[in-house]
Structure 1
């Protein structure tokens, strides 16, 4: 595996929540900088040494609700 994709959404209490597609990896953070660190750490902890993907892609999802 050369790449792993995370879907990043706003957390229910602020911050960010990131979930990997196709793997059981989940993390959260208060800031973008902290999110980058937490995602890297989670990926490295999930895979055996040398088996982690070389690239981590973050896909940010932004949702807005409009009242009519």
Structure 2
């Protein structure tokens, strides 16, 4: 892919139906999950490090937490 065009990668983070959290990259085929949010941050960092070479690795990882909440009416 050459030099990475952006210095940032964005992940959508959602609570997993089975418990814990799931993170999916918007523009790359990267997915990971963990039991806690702190563990998820480590897993995302590791996944990004594995997916990119040091020359094209983004410098910033953005986690966008999405939470669905149902309210009775």
RMSD: 1.0
Aligned to 2:24: 19
Runs of 4+ that moved beyond 3 A: none
Looking at structure 2, the residues matched to 50 and 16 of structure 1 have their Cα atoms a distance apart, in angstroms, of: 29
2:10 match: secondary structure: strand
Unaligned runs of 5+ in 2: 1-5
Structure with bigger gyration radius: 2
Mind listing any 5+ residue stretches in structure 1 that lack a counterpart? none
TM-score, normalised relative to structure 2: 0.86
Distance in structure 1 (CA, Å) of the matches to 2:56 and 2:49: 9
Number of aligned pairs? 68
Which TM-score applies when normalising by structure 1? Answer: 0.92
Counterpart pick for 1:2 among 3, 7, 15: 7
